[in-house]
Structure 1
Amino acid sequence: MSAFSPTVSAQSNVVLYGIADLGIHYSNGLNASNAPTASNSTTALSSGINNTSRWGIKGQETLGNDMSALFQLEGGLNIDTGGSAKSDKLFDRIAFVGLKTSAGVLTAGRQATILSDAISPVDPLGMRFASFNPNINVTALSNTAFGTHAFGMQYGTSGYNDNYYRLDNMLKFTSDFGPVTTRVSYSFGEVAGNTSALSTVGAGLSYQQDGLAISGAYMKLKNSASFSLDAYTLGAAYNFGEFTLKANYGNNKAETAINKETKESIYSGGGNLVIRPGLSLTAAYYRVRRDSTGFTSDGFDRVVAYLEQEMSKRSTLYVELDSTKWNGNATGTTGTQANKSNGYGFTLGLMHKF
């Protein structure tokens, strides 16, 4: 305990940071929320097309003996309206406190899952366009509801149905061994009399060295009835100098009721090319397929591309293009009218980091 006594000389720093990303987005066969629609076209001013608009505060204090205390608070923003991304949570993205030692970093609070940590270095889009990126939505379980059916219930402690990308009450431990990073996590369901309900457990492993990255993770999430959602991801990336190639595979299976389940598989591949200093092109292909008891198999194929021009160290002008082909009855219906089998979009936007 003497290591934490007032006589220890501590140094601390606190940083305010964020991203403001806004673009004019035109779409056909998709509405302003990127859901399938039967209408001809939609033009909207949309936030977070490149990177999710956000603001946050983070800090770290040295405690001596190679130990530091740290914290981070981060909330999503809708720049087009000035509102918070989640009306019920000020810091919907991150809210944790932690301890850093020579053995690793232990954090506690609301955090992104180990699945998202594993996908980050190998997602072909570099985790862009969170509301539209299948690796974020389906592989990392940020928005599993599309088409004619969905999981329709909460797994883990996210607080939302069909969205389990971030979890409350989570303990996460991260440790580095040279180029290898290990991660383990557990979140408390906090359901009285049932320690299994809404709990989650996960583990991840990644390797990054000499331009090569290999990353994977597995998680088991429970709902309030202790039905399981099992998910895993595995991907790789390699840098060839001016060109980086990335690929990833994700899979999940959810028990939605007794003798009923939903299975999803996600294939992705793409890369980033530096055309010249400050100008880059990123393109990615995603293939999503879903099988569910009592429903016709469905899914979609999606291509997304970005051309980005850095205007300064903090500001980037970008053009985004996307095309989606729906498989099976994934589009569902709008009223009594069937939705289009194809959708596409175009964005001209500006992203500023502070």
Structure 2
Amino acid sequence: MRRSCVLTALLVMSGTSLAQTSIDLYGIVDVGVRGSSGLGASNAPTAAGHVSAVSSGIDQTSRWGIRGREALGGHWAALVRLEGGINADTGASAKSDRLFDRDAWVGLETPYGTLAAGRQPTLLSDALTPVDPLGKRDASFNPNINVAGLSNTAFGTHGFGRQYGPSGYNDNFYRLDNTLKYSVKSGPWQARASWSAGEVAGDTQASSARGAALAYQEGPWAVSGATMRLRSKEDLPLDAWLLGAAYRLDAWQFKATIARNAADTGPNQTVHQHVYSAGVSRALGPGLMLTTAWYSVRREATGLANDGLERGFVYLEQALGPRTTTYAEADYTSWRGNAAGLTGNRPNDRHGAGLTLGLMQKF
């Protein structure tokens, strides 16, 4: 009888512990059949004419991850997240040198805010979440993510050509290693601050990054902004900021952003980038959503002609179930200046268009 009581008590205690701890495996697999003209399979400018491809992540980036939370009592909790990108069309990791290229951090949630440490998206990425007209769809082709969020600044001749902050890559600073990020909410307001260690011996500024962000969300309104300074290993600065707003009216949602960044790329050498965007979404029926967006990019670099692009998107999505969505996507790009570049000695097309039919499944 005594053994039975002890066993029952242990089972109750075990159940309580399990109820306070959660570990979840999650992910997205998004694959589409895409046809394009003036754009290659990776959406780079081309002179090859029509291209057919099976592509990953046209709606939402294909990914997988593990997230955990353990309640510690008194409104305290320990957090963990590991997340890696997937090229679902080939089964390869998005980054061959990293298993968890998107997130790898541990954190502590407290009544006074949340502190996380490890590889994390920048505050520019966080600030885009509520206000990007595409809702951060098509991450590899979305100018707000590429240029405003600094995930791919190397197209054409105006790339930075070096690493700023501890991202691990040239011309891609959307996620940073060695990052401490603190966030706190008060009513409709959320404030964030971050610092990323450059880990360069003898120089605490080289390859480092720091920033601050503020967001407001209440009722139909959302306003979000962030500013950051990143440094190269040579201690050259890259300054970036963005600001956006969103407004919901019945079945309609309107979003707009403005972003600018400027980098010193060498002695008396600079690159300036500007991004403007606007878009409208509307629910057309049960599970049916139409989203349109337009982006305008302008770039200036010392000794080079100004360039940029205009890019528009249309997405039509139909939810087939709680985790499954089918979609049609169309896009059009017009390159400015020499942004389209060359293939060998042949100029690439100055206009590009694409059409995708895809299926996305979440787990």
TM-score (norm 1): 0.97
Following superposition of structure 1 onto structure 2, how do residues 292-307 of structure 1 map, counting pairs within 5 Å? 292-307=301-316
Contact 2:139 2:146 in 1 (8 A): yes
Q: What CA distance in whole angstroms lies between the structure 1 residues aligned with 2:361 and 2:344?
A: 39
Identify the structure with the greater helix proportion.
Answer: 2
Partner residue in 2 for 1:131 = 140
Q: Which of 80, 85, 89 is matched with 2:94 structurally?
A: 85
For each residue in 1:77-96, what CA deviation from the matched residue of structure 2 results, as whole angstroms up to 9, or x when unmatched?
01111110000000000000
Partner residue in 2 for 1:256 = 265
Partner residue in 2 for 1:74 = 83
Q: What CA distance in whole angstroms lies between the structure 2 residues aligned with 1:330 and 1:127?
A: 23
Give the Å deviation of 1:64.
Answer: 1.2
Higher Cα Rg, which structure: 2
Give the Å deviation of 1:248.
Answer: 0.3
Contact 1:148 1:331 in 2 (8 A): no
2:225 maps to 1:216: yes
2:38 maps to 1:29: yes
Give the Å deviation of 1:241.
Answer: 1.6
Give the Å deviation of 1:313.
Answer: 0.7
Q: What CA distance in whole angstroms lies between the structure 1 residues aligned with 2:318 and 2:348?
A: 35
For each residue in 1:277-317, what CA deviation from the matched residue of structure 2 results, as whole angstroms up to 9, or x when unmatched?
11110000000000000100000000011000111010000
Q: How many residues align?
A: 346
Q: What CA distance in whole angstroms lies between the structure 2 residues aligned with 1:305 and 1:159?
A: 33
CA root-mean-square deviation: 0.7
Q: Which of 103, 112, 126 is matched with 1:103 structurally?
A: 112
Contact 1:319 1:348 in 2 (8 A): yes
SS of the residue corresponding to residue 163 of structure 2 reads: coil
Partner residue in 2 for 1:237 = 246
Following superposition of structure 1 onto structure 2, how do residues 141-160 of structure 1 map, counting pairs within 5 Å? 141-160=150-169
2:324 maps to 1:324: no
Deviating beyond 2 angstroms after TM superposition, the runs of 4 or more aligned structure 1 residues are none
Partner residue in 1 for 2:6 = none
SS of the residue corresponding to residue 34 of structure 2 reads: strand
Q: What CA distance in whole angstroms lies between the structure 2 residues aligned with 1:140 and 1:40?
A: 30
SS of the residue corresponding to residue 138 of structure 1 reads: helix
SS of the residue corresponding to residue 304 of structure 2 reads: coil
Q: What CA distance in whole angstroms lies between the structure 1 residues aligned with 2:73 and 2:218?
A: 30
Q: What CA distance in whole angstroms lies between the structure 2 residues aligned with 1:99 and 1:295?
A: 47
Q: What CA distance in whole angstroms lies between the structure 2 residues aligned with 1:161 and 1:270?
A: 30
Q: What CA distance in whole angstroms lies between the structure 1 residues aligned with 2:75 and 2:321?
A: 36
The amino acid of 2:328's aligned partner reads: V
Partner residue in 1 for 2:24 = 15
SS of the residue corresponding to residue 86 of structure 2 reads: strand
Contact 1:203 1:219 in 2 (8 A): yes
Partner residue in 2 for 1:119 = 128
Identity of aligned residues (%): 56
Q: What CA distance in whole angstroms lies between the structure 2 residues aligned with 1:353 and 1:347?
A: 19
Q: What CA distance in whole angstroms lies between the structure 2 residues aligned with 1:346 and 1:331?
A: 19
Q: What CA distance in whole angstroms lies between the structure 2 residues aligned with 1:211 and 1:17?
A: 30
For each residue in 1:146-187, what CA deviation from the matched residue of structure 2 results, as whole angstroms up to 9, or x when unmatched?
112310100001100000000000000000010000000000
2:299 maps to 1:290: yes
TM-score (norm 2): 0.95
SS of the residue corresponding to residue 39 of structure 1 reads: strand
Q: Which of 179, 191, 195 is matched with 1:186 structurally?
A: 195
**Gapped regions of structure 2 (runs ≥ 5):** 1-15
Partner residue in 1 for 2:234 = 225
Give the Å deviation of 1:65.
Answer: 2.0
Q: What CA distance in whole angstroms lies between the structure 1 residues aligned with 2:347 and 2:158?
A: 15
Q: What CA distance in whole angstroms lies between the structure 1 residues aligned with 2:142 and 2:194?
A: 24
